[in-house]
C-alpha cells in the first residue's frame, strides 16, 4: 500500500468534468513530477487532493496512509499530513511570516506553540533552507518577488512537516537563481523530513536542478504516460502533442 494512493479519480468543476480517472501512488522520500499542457487538469488535481469544495469528486478515492480521506474537510487532511503549496500565494499585509507560521503550526498540532520554542524551531528550519532570519519579520508575501513568495511556501512546508506535499507550479514566476534555491529546498525537505513530493509543473526547467524519481504526463484529464526524468526531457524536445 502506498502512502498516498489515488484511484480512478474523477473531478468536475461547475458541472464540467476535468479529471477523468486519475490513479497515482506516492510514498515518503519520493519526488514525483506531474507535467502537462495548460488545461490538462494539473491544478484541479492539486485542489481536489486538498479538499477544495469547488472541485467535486464524482468518482474514485484518495487514501492517505491507508485512511480514506476522499470526503474529509481540508483542515483534517492537513492534520493528517497533506500540504498544498499554492501557485499564486496571497499577500497578507500586517501579518509577519513568523506569526503566520506559528498560527499554522498550532492549527496542525491542535495546540499553541510557545513563542520561544517556536522561534528556535523556525530558525532551525530557516538555517536548513539557508534563509536569512530577517525573512521571518517581513509581512507575508507583501512586496515579495515571485521567488520570495515561493521560498515562503517552501519554508511553510518545512515548518509544518507534512508527510505528502503537493507543490502547484512552484517554479512559476521565478528567475534562475530563485529556481536553484527552491529546488535545493525541495530536495532538502524530501530527504531530511522524509516528505513525499508531488511537483506540478508546466515546464521542464525546474527538473534541470532536481531529479524526480518519477515523471507523469497528464493530458485531457488522464495520466497518459509515466517514466523517469528521460520522459521530461523527451517532452521538452518534442512537446506534448505526440503523447
DSSP string, 87-116: SSPPPEEEEEHHHHHHHHHHHHHTSPPPHH
What nine digits make up the cell of 30? 519520493
Q: What does the pLDDT read at residue 173?
A: 67
Classify residue 96: in a domain, yes or no: yes
Domain limits for position 118: 4-238
What is the biggest distance separating any 2 CA atoms in the chain, rounded to whole angstroms? 55
Classify residue 132: in a domain, yes or no: yes
Classify residue 233: in a domain, yes or no: yes
Classify residue 131: in a domain, yes or no: yes
What nine digits make up the cell of 223? 495520466
Counting the structural domains of the chain, the total is 1
26: nearest Cα among 43, 6, 48, 45 = 6
Q: What does the pLDDT read at residue 207?
A: 83
Query: What pTM does this model have?
Result: 0.91
pLDDT in tens, the chain (243 residues): 899 999 999 999 999 999 999 999 999 989 999 999 989 999 999 999 999 999 999 999 999 999 999 999 999 999 999 999 977 788 999 999 999 999 999 999 999 999 999 999 999 999 988 899 999 999 999 999 888 888 899 999 999 999 999 998 877 767 787 788 888 889 888 888 889 999 998 777 788 888 899 999 999 999 999 999 889 888 888 888 777
Q: Which contiguous run of DSSP H or E holds residue 50?
A: helix 42-50
Q: What is the CATH number of the domain that holds 185?
A: 3.40.50.300
Query: What is the Cα–Cα distance from 171 to 180, expressed in whole angstroms?
Result: 10
Classify residue 215: in a domain, yes or no: yes
Classify residue 243: in a domain, yes or no: no
Classify residue 117: in a domain, yes or no: yes
Pairing mode, strands 139-140 and 92-96: antiparallel
Amino acid at each position: 500500500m502506498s502512502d498516498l494512493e489515488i484511484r480512478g479519480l474523477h473531478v468536475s468543476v461547475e458541472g464540467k468534468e476535468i479529471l477523468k480517472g486519475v490513479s497515482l501512488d506516492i510514498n515518503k522520500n519520493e519526488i514525483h513530477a506531474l507535467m502537462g499542457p495548460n488545461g490538462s487538469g494539473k491544478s484541479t488535481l492539486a485542489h481536489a487532493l486538498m479538499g477544495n469544495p469547488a472541485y467535486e469528486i464524482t468518482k474514485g478515492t484518495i487514501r492517505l496512509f491507508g485512511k480514506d480521506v476522499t470526503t474529509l474537510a481540508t483542515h483534517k487532511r492537513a492534520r493528517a499530513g497533506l500540504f498544498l503549496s499554492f501557485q499564486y500565494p496571497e499577500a497578507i499585509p500586517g501579518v509577519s511570516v513568523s506569526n503566520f507560521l506559528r498560527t499554522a503550526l498550532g492549527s496542525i498540532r491542535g495546540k499553541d506553540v510557545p513563542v520561544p520554542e517556536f522561534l528556535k524551531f523556525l530558525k532551525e528550519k530557516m538555517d536548513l533552507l539557508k534563509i536569512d532570519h530577517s525573512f521571518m519579520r517581513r509581512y507575508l508575501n507583501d512586496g515579495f518577488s515571485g521567488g520570495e513568495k515561493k521560498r515562503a511556501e517552501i519554508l511553510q512546508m518545512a515548518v509544518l512537516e507534512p508527510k505528502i506535499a503537493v507543490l502547484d507550479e512552484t517554479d512559476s514566476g521565478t528567475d534562475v537563481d530563485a529556481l536553484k534555491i527552491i529546488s535545493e529546498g525541495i530536495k532538502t525537505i524530501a530527504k531530511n523530513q522524509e516528505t513525499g513530493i508531488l511537483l506540478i509543473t508546466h515546464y521542464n526547467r525546474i527538473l534541470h536542478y532536481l531529479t524526480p524519481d518519477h515523471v507523469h504526463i497528464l493530458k485531457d484529464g488522464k495520466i497518459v504516460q509515466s517514466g523517469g526524468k528521460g520522459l521530461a526531457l523527451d517532452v521538452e524536445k518534442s512537446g506534448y502533442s505526440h503523447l
